[in-house]
């Protein structure tokens, strides 16, 4: 449910930030009232992976949580995990529409392909999903270590999709998307991910003892015995590099991670970096290998210069700073790229599949592509959102309207209870001991119990149900911008026009985001701002 003000439907900032559009405030209200089954049902309306996302989502929703104005964001990801764990273990009944008689093939069983298959099945299409590897799950299974995402969580949610009627065939690589059309499918969706490793391009990287990060993680996750010795170097700064480093620790190695920029530029999440350091990973910043010879790497110190094309400071080598580092195994984890040619489709220089309007691949009518295969490596929740969008595109091509149905009844929430006061911090996330972490792949994170989850849910403002009127007196405002600096919710913008006093005043353009914290009122030196709760 959302509130409508002046004809505009209010959407909470956390929901706006979720690529899949999960109704975050609604499922949190359910948890606050102890209704975990209903909370889980709300989440499943938008994603088929509540438990997977509860474990491993990068939670962009929390960066936009209005609670940040007071203290810290609500633990949205952790509450999703609680809903998945405490909600009904019985798979929900799939409300499938009548059969359309159309057949769709999906190539790839990662989060994008599985999501698209799930919702295409709900829309009444007959879906067959092909996976090249022995087990389903794509990068969820093979690219994320079990200490972050246990295989039981993946199996349970893939089982839910399979039970709904999606046919899944593993160990079945597809080399031609077009050939599937010739075998009787009405549409084909390529969701093959991005598995091709990006290399450093330095002498010696083809030597024995040099592995790529994704292949290393895939072998470990598949249960293969991987001998890496006692001294491991990991090259890179993303989550794959951190995962490779922490996995190496669990295999008994002494691990150093080399990154050519500083921690401020590392794309890996802060929590992953912090836990890697806790587990003994040494991170050597501003350094990079330039040559590999047998069991040693020639490295060079770097310094940061002007920003490069992606906006990050460019690392440049420092003359005369070379030094040698010995290793038993060196793991390159600089990222991955897609490989359009693997399924016989036209690709761009970076390997991503070329698509036109509505995710239609340009090679032939009826072939679609989505996810990392089109956008390059992204996150789980972005891949899920891509799967939903691809489902809508395929459905329109097959004669539908592209609308994925939602089966939840209208919400009639009780009057909002007293919200946890300013300064109320979220419960800390407990983890297993360092000793246990280093000895195996047991999940590191220990979730909230019911009582802790209910208490944490009480910190949510239910922004979709509340509205505040924010007024700026343009005649008085001197355009200092303190209001915009104090507000993290993007309520204020500076006008392009001058007031009679010769200042460009600020305007409250996004008042639907306001949570009434009063920071703007308290900081305004001109006493130009008022905030009142709308009735």
From residue 287, alpha-carbon distances to 134, 265, 283, 419, 518 in Å are 38, 13, 10, 48, 46
pLDDT at 5: 43
Distance, C-alpha 54 to centroid of its chain: 11
Q: CA 70 to CA 424: how far, in whole Å?
A: 9
Q: Is the dihedral of CA 98, 101, 104, 105 positive or negative?
A: positive
Nearest to 361 by CA among 194, 196, 191: 191
The domains of the chain, with CATH numbers, are 4-92+407-457 (1.10.1060), 103-195+338-397 (3.50.50.60), 199-335 (3.50.50.60), 468-533 (3.30.70.20)
* pLDDT at residue 414 in the model: 66
How far apart are the C-alpha atoms of 260 and 255, rounded to whole Å? 17
Q: What is the pLDDT along the chain (535 residues), one digit of tens a residue?
A: 444 444 445 688 899 999 999 999 999 999 999 999 999 999 999 999 999 999 999 999 999 998 988 899 999 999 999 999 999 877 667 789 999 999 999 999 999 999 999 999 999 999 999 999 999 999 999 999 999 999 999 999 999 999 999 999 999 999 999 999 999 999 999 999 999 999 999 999 999 999 999 999 999 999 999 999 999 999 999 999 999 999 999 999 999 999 999 999 999 999 999 999 999 999 999 999 999 999 999 999 999 998 877 788 999 999 999 999 999 999 999 999 999 999 999 999 999 999 998 888 876 789 999 999 999 999 999 999 999 999 999 999 999 999 999 888 777 766 676 788 888 889 998 999 999 999 999 999 998 999 999 999 999 988 888 778 899 999 999 999 999 998 888 899 999 999 999 999 999 987 877 888 888 999 999 999 999 887 5
Total Cβ atoms within 10 A of residue 234: 32
Query: In degrees to the nearest 10, what's the CA dihedral of 9, 14, 16, 17?
Result: 170
Say if strands 8-9 and 4-5 run parallel, antiparallel, or are unpaired. antiparallel
DSSP code per residue over 298-345: EEEEEEEEEE-TTSSEEEEEPTT--EEEE-SEEEE-S-EE--GGGGT-
- A 10 A CB-CB count for 330 gives 25
Rounded alpha-carbon distances, angstroms, from residue 208 to 199, 328, 329 = 15, 10, 9
Residues 6+ apart with CB under 8 A from 446: 429, 430, 431, 432
CB 139 within 8 A of CB 52: no
Looking up tokens 């972490």 gives 437
Give residue 27's pLDDT: 96
Query: Do 207 and 297 touch, CB atoms closer than 8 A?
Result: no
3-state secondary structure of 358: helix
């Amino acid at each position: 449910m959302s509130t409508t003000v002046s004809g505009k439907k209010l959407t909470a900032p956390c929901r706006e930030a979720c690529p899949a559009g999960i109704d975050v405030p609604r499922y949190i209200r359910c948890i606050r009232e102890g209704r975990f089954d209903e909370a889980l049902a709300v989440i499943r309306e938008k994603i088929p992976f509540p438990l997977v996302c509860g474990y491993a989502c990068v939670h962009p929703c929390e960066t936009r949580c209005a609670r940040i104005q007071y203290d810290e964001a609500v633990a949205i990801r952790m509450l999703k995990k609680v809903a998945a764990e405490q909600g009904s273990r019985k798979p929900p009944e799939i409300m499938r529409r009548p059969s359309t008689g159309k057949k769709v093939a999906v190539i790839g069983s990662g989060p994008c392909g599985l999501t698209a298959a799930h919702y295409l099945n709900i829309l009444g299409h007959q879906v067959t999903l092909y996976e090249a590897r022995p087990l389903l799950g794509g990068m969820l299974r093979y690219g994320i270590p079990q200490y972050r995402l246990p295989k039981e969580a993946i199996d349970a949610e893939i089982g839910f999709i399979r039970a709904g009627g999606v046919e899944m065939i593993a160990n079945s690589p597809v080399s031609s998307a077009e050939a599937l059309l010739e075998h009787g499918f009405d549409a084909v969706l390529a969701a093959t991910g991005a598995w091709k490793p990006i290399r450093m391009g330095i002498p010696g990287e083809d030597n024995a003892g040099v592995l790529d990060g994704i292949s290393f993680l895939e072998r470990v996750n598949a249960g293969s015995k991987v001998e890496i010795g006692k001294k491991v170097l990991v090259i890179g700064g993303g989550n794959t590099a951190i995962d490779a480093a922490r996995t190496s620790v669990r295999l008994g190695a002494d691990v150093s991670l080399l990154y050519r920029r500083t921690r401020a530029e590392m794309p890996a999440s802060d929590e992953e970096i912090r836990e890697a350091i806790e587990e003994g990973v040494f991170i050597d910043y501003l350094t990079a290998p330039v040559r590999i010879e047998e069991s040693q790497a020639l490295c060079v110190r770097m310094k940061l210069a002007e920003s490069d094309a992606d906006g990050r400071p460019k690392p440049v080598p420092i003359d005369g700073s070379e030094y040698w580092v010995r290793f038993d195994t060196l793991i390159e984890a600089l990222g991955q790229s897609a490989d359009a040619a693997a399924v016989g489709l036209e690709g761009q220089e970076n390997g991503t599949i070329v698509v036109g309007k509505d995710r239609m691949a340009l090679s032939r009518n009826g072939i679609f592509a989505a996810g990392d295969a089109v956008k390059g490596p992204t996150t789980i929740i972005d891949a899920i959102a891509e799967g939903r969008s691809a489902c809508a595109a395929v459905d329109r091509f097959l004669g539908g309207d592209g609308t994925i149905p939602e089966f939840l009844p209208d919400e009639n929430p009780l009057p909002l209870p007293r919200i946890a006061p300013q300064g109320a911090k979220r419960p800390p996330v407990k983890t297993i001991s360092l000793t246990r972490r280093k000895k195996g792949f047991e999940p590191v994170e220990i979730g909230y119990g019911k009582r802790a989850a209910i208490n944490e849910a009480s910190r949510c403002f239910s922004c979709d149900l509340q509205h505040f009127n924010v007024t700026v007196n343009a005649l008085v405002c001197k355009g200092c911008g303190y209001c915009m600096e104090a507000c993290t919710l993007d309520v204020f913008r500076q006008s392009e026009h001058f007031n009679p006093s010769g200042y460009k005043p600020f305007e409250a353009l996004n008042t639907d985001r306001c949570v009434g914290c009063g920071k703007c009122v308290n900081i305004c030196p001109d006493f130009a701002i008022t905030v009142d709760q709308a009735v």
